[in-house]
Amino acid sequence: MREEQITALVQDMTLAEKIGQMVQLEGNFFYKEQQGVVTGPASEEEIADEVKAVTGSVLNVYGAEKLIAIQREFMKKQPHHIPLLFMFDVIHGFKTIFPAPLGLGAAFEPELAKECAGVAAKEASASGLHVVFSPMVDLVRDARWGRVVESTGEDPYLNGLYAAAQVEGFQGENPGEEGKICACIKHFAGYGAPVAGRDYNTVELSERTFREYYLAAYQKGIAAGTGMVMTSFNTVNGIPASVNRRLMQDILRNEMGFDGVLISDYEAIRETISHGYSENEEKAAQNAVTAGVDIDMMSYCYSNNLMKLVKTGKIREEQIDECVLRILRLKNKLGLFEKPYKDADPEQERKLHLCEDHRKLARTAAEKSFVLLKNDKILPLDTAKKIAFIGPYTEEKHMLSSWALSGDYRDTVTIREAAEKMMPDSELYFCNGSPILTPGYRLPGFEKNAPESQRCWSQEEAKELLDKAVQLAKQADTIIMPLGEHFLQSGEAASRSELDIPEVQMELFREVVRVNPNVIVLVFSGRPLDLREVSEKAKAVLEVWFPGSEGGAAIMNVLTGAVNPSGKLPMSFPYSIGQVPVYYNEYSTGRPYYTNSKERFQSRYIDIPNEPLYPFGYGLSYTKFQISPVHLDKKTITGDETLCASVTIENTGDYAGTETLQLYIRDLYASVVRPVKELKGFRKVYLSPGEKQVVTFTITEKMLHFLRADGTWGSEPGTFHVWIGNSSACGEGSEFVLY
Ligand code: BGC
């Protein structure tokens, strides 16, 4: 359709029909089966049949045959035969599940995330979907918040690269192309900083922190052309984001130049009443339309109030027209007026879903996401030894994460399956050792339809498992302990006040190390955990996040050394929960503490170190890398010059491997204080044993930009410190001056 035809169509639509475009409903209103996760109320009674007949979009239903049938029936009755948009949460894969986003972030490889998003787009579009509620680009610093699992971490630069890469992966050149899908970055804005890590809680960010850290990745996703943006549940400067005019109009539309479709989060428009901002649903609808929110996801505020608001002159019909125009443009961009089923095709579903190529990518992505936190000469495994796998993730298929809604855990390769297949000649033993959750512990809100792994175990059952495990531990040479959080302990509405591995597993761990110290721990988690005890007592620790469909195979490839681990932490792992939020790019203080200082009045804890247990950017390899001091090709530059910072990196160990060199800069004095380090670039380098390479980063004046005291973006002359190292804790650096 041409633009004039879309405008003409809007003019020809009745007001009721136009309002319908701005309403999004649950799939089960159209098809009697729930497929997604309903995170708010979803009662059909609140919605009139006339509204349903002209609805613009649907969430939480997928499947080629189903969506073709819904679309066919719907369009017959829609007065202008306008097709529905089908949307779904495709967070880290559709049927083939990749590692959870925090794990993808640990790969330090946005191109890999782009490839994964491309595969997810192919699989999801074959199942009839048009929009994915992804990527989530919220910056996260507080491991208590359950949704850190959906983010790529604490760094605005890294998150920005991932945001753009994923948008490009989903949408390609044009989301209307076959196998492509429209992206929707979320949650705009600041949702990643709920006070005390409690989901949906108030967000308190200074304008500077909000803009410099939190808005950066959204901006990159918008620049990459995301077709949609989703609002967030929190308030921004005291006004709920979903009705925040300054945020949506001034910042999102005007400053960031977003001209696509803005959708509310689930029920978020109505929730502005509970926030104490909108007095009633009518006011909530008026506020949201005024802020420029085009689609109301499941709060019925638009469907039940917009007509009245226009009739009483509280909203101008042109405001509605603007929203509808944006929605119809998106439908047009997706080619739905010509091909209302787009790529929905049962044949393609069968061909694509979980096909060997997709599984292979899931395996590679998982391998690259694992972070080796400790290795006391025990890995890679000596396969000639007697190896026992002891821990509740040994045979567990639930390793997809709580946001893999369309994935089927039964398609997952377990550790045991992979080990038996890959090590047919080794002497292997397997036992679960404990349940995942401590007996008596129930995950609130998940009582119904709890999976087997989440059922409540009795003390006796747990004791029996433990006794068996200890016997086995005594006989083995090497023990691999797959431990960690339950997959429902992270995700939405899964904030935690403790960052521990469930106590029943820690008891198992203690008993096993007591009888046999040759223990390698695999940590499954959707967030940084407090790993002090595990790190102290185990000989090796490998963080594997929620690794996805090929989790077991990827784990075995890394344990056996077929693949050398190379992941780096995208979020600091705290020493203890008392440090949270702890992140590398903090400001200095007037009384900075230097390790081992005897001074009393310094910015420090008296009972724990200031440093996290494992900092941002940290991760080991089976081999050793030596990195030379930084060499700068000049000591001074002017604004239009560039500077080359280089190091020589050498693989001095016994295995081929990949190291991620990270470039950090500090602006020493400026009109506002600057972080002690900021990531400005990174490079993954693959080296064989004995191989060396010179790696050069080009520093430009643009890389030194920040939000200056006068509110403008730019650099300021002065001295800058430069580091190139293999984590944010890298020591020595060099300096240059910008004139
Ligand atoms: C979440 C969103 C999600 C939406 C639809 C909300 O509760 O915050 O991230 O896209 O539900 O499932």
pLDDT, one tens digit per residue, over 378-401 is 999 999 999 999 999 999 999 999
Q: Is 27 in the pocket of ligand 1 (CB under 6 A)?
A: no
Query: Ligand 1 pocket check: which of 25, 28, 133 to mutate, most ligand atoms within 8 Å of Cβ?
Result: 133
* Closest residue by Cα to residue 584 from 665, 704, 529: 665
Report the alpha-carbon distance of residue 113 to residue 649 in Å, rounded.
Answer: 26
| CB-CB contact of 495 with 146 (8 Å) | yes
* Residue range 90-106: mean pLDDT, rounded: 98
Top pLDDT among 448 and 129 is at: 129
Quick: pLDDT tens for 711-722: 999 999 999 999
**Strand, helix or coil for residue 688:** coil
* Residue range 139-157: mean pLDDT, rounded: 98
167 band by pLDDT with thresholds 50, 70 and 90: very high
**Strand, helix or coil for residue 203:** strand
Q: What are phi and psi of 38, to 5 degrees?
A: -90, 110
Q: What HEC string does 539-567 produce? A: CEEEECCCCCCCHHHHHHHHHHCCCCCCC
* Residue range 470-476: mean pLDDT, rounded: 98
* Residue range 440-446: mean pLDDT, rounded: 79
H or E element that contains 636? strand 636-637
Quick: pLDDT tens for 185-206: 999 999 999 999 999 999 999 9
CA of 24 to the centre of ligand 1 (A): 13
**pLDDT for the residue numbered 39:** 63
**Strand, helix or coil for residue 228:** strand
| Residue 667 Rama label (left phi>0; alpha psi -120 to 50; beta) | beta
**pLDDT for the residue numbered 441:** 84
* Residue range 439-464: mean pLDDT, rounded: 74
Q: Is the pLDDT of residue 453 over 60?
A: no
- 489: tokens are 């302990």
How deeply is 32 buried, as exposed, middle or buried, from its count of CB atoms within 10 A (0-12, 13-18, 19+)? Answer: exposed
Report the alpha-carbon distance of residue 565 to residue 582 in Å, rounded.
Answer: 25
CA of 106 to the centre of ligand 1 (A): 24
Q: Which atom of ligand 1 is nearest to the CA of 37?
A: 12
Please give the DSSP secondary-structure letter assigned to residue 516.
-
Quick: pLDDT tens for 512-569: 999 999 999 999 999 999 999 999 999 999 999 999 999 999 999 999 999 999 999 9
| Residue 49 Rama label (left phi>0; alpha psi -120 to 50; beta) | alpha
Report the alpha-carbon distance of residue 57 to residue 70 in Å, rounded.
Answer: 12
Q: Is 265 in the pocket of ligand 1 (CB under 6 A)?
A: yes
Report the alpha-carbon distance of residue 267 to residue 298 in Å, rounded.
Answer: 5
Contacts of 535 by beta carbon, 8 Å cutoff, 6+ apart: 373, 374, 541, 613
Cis peptide before 612 (omega within 30 of 0): no
37 band by pLDDT with thresholds 50, 70 and 90: low
CA distances to 485, 486, 535, 725 from 555, rounded to whole Å, are: 17, 18, 19, 27
- 196: tokens are 């005390």
Query: Ligand 1 pocket check: which of 34, 39, 262 to mutate, most ligand atoms within 8 Å of Cβ?
Result: 39
| Distance of alpha carbon 395 from the chain centroid | 26
> Nearest C-alpha to atom 2 of ligand 1 is from which residue?
265
CA of 127 to the centre of ligand 1 (A): 20
Q: What are phi and psi of 420, to 5 degrees?
A: -65, -35
User: Strands 131-132, 713-714: parallel, antiparallel or unpaired by DSSP?
Assistant: unpaired
The Cα angle at residue 529 between residues 523 and 531, in degrees rounded to 5? 75
| CB-CB contact of 372 with 565 (8 Å) | yes
Quick: pLDDT tens for 596-616: 888 899 999 999 999 999 999
Q: Which atom of ligand 1 is nearest to the CA of 232?
A: 8
Report the alpha-carbon distance of residue 605 to residue 370 in Å, rounded.
Answer: 31
Please give the DSSP secondary-structure letter assigned to residue 38.
-
Q: Is 349 in the pocket of ligand 1 (CB under 6 A)?
A: no
**Dihedral angle, C-alpha 27, 90, 235, 312, nearest 10 °:** -30
Q: Is 39 in the pocket of ligand 1 (CB under 6 A)?
A: yes
Contacts of 23 by beta carbon, 8 Å cutoff, 6+ apart: 51, 55, 56, 57, 295, 296, 300, 302, 303
H or E element that contains 713? strand 713-714
**pLDDT for the residue numbered 354:** 98
49 band by pLDDT with thresholds 50, 70 and 90: confident
Report the alpha-carbon distance of residue 55 to residue 37 in Å, rounded.
Answer: 20
Mark 204-237 as b/e (b = at least 16 C-beta within 10 Å).
bbeeebbbbbbbbbbbbbbebbbbbbbbbbbbbe
| Residue 64 Rama label (left phi>0; alpha psi -120 to 50; beta) | alpha
Query: Ligand 1 pocket check: which of 265, 295, 495 to mutate, most ligand atoms within 8 Å of Cβ?
Result: 265
Could you list the active site residues?
265
Q: Which atom of ligand 1 is nearest to the CA of 40?
A: 7
448 band by pLDDT with thresholds 50, 70 and 90: low
CA of 88 to the centre of ligand 1 (A): 9
Q: Is the pLDDT of residue 662 over 70?
A: yes
* Residue range 647-675: mean pLDDT, rounded: 98
> Nearest C-alpha to atom 5 of ligand 1 is from which residue?
266
**pLDDT for the residue numbered 384:** 95
Strand order in the sheet with 296-297: 131-132, 85-88, 57-59, 23-26, 296-297
CA of 187 to the centre of ligand 1 (A): 9
Quick: pLDDT tens for 633-646: 999 999 999 999 99
Q: Which atom of ligand 1 is nearest to the CA of 191?
A: 8
* Closest residue by Cα to residue 137 from 182, 184, 206, 196: 184
**pLDDT for the residue numbered 594:** 83
Q: Which atom of ligand 1 is nearest to the CA of 133?
A: 10
| CB-CB contact of 605 with 577 (8 Å) | no
Quick: pLDDT tens for 489-517: 999 999 999 999 999 999 999 999 999 99
CA of 39 to the centre of ligand 1 (A): 7
| CB-CB contact of 315 with 292 (8 Å) | no
Alpha-helical runs (H) found in 334-442: 346-352, 356-369, 415-422
Contacts of 291 by beta carbon, 8 Å cutoff, 6+ apart: 242, 243, 244, 245, 247, 248, 249
Q: Is the pLDDT of residue 34 over 90?
A: no
Count Cβ atoms below 10 Å from residue 362 Cβ, excluding itself. Answer: 28
User: Can you name the residues that pair with 456 across neighbouring β-strands?
Assistant: none
> Nearest C-alpha to atom 7 of ligand 1 is from which residue?
39
CA of 134 to the centre of ligand 1 (A): 10
Contacts of 546 by beta carbon, 8 Å cutoff, 6+ apart: 99, 100, 103, 149, 399, 400, 401, 404, 487, 490, 524, 525, 526
Q: Is 147 in the pocket of ligand 1 (CB under 6 A)?
A: no
Report the alpha-carbon distance of residue 214 to residue 197 in Å, rounded.
Answer: 16
Percentage of residues in the chain with pLDDT exceeding 70?
97
* Residue range 338-343: mean pLDDT, rounded: 98
Query: Ligand 1 pocket check: which of 24, 89, 403 to mutate, most ligand atoms within 8 Å of Cβ?
Result: 89
**pLDDT for the residue numbered 62:** 97
For the chain, how far is it from start to end, CA to CA, in angstroms? 53
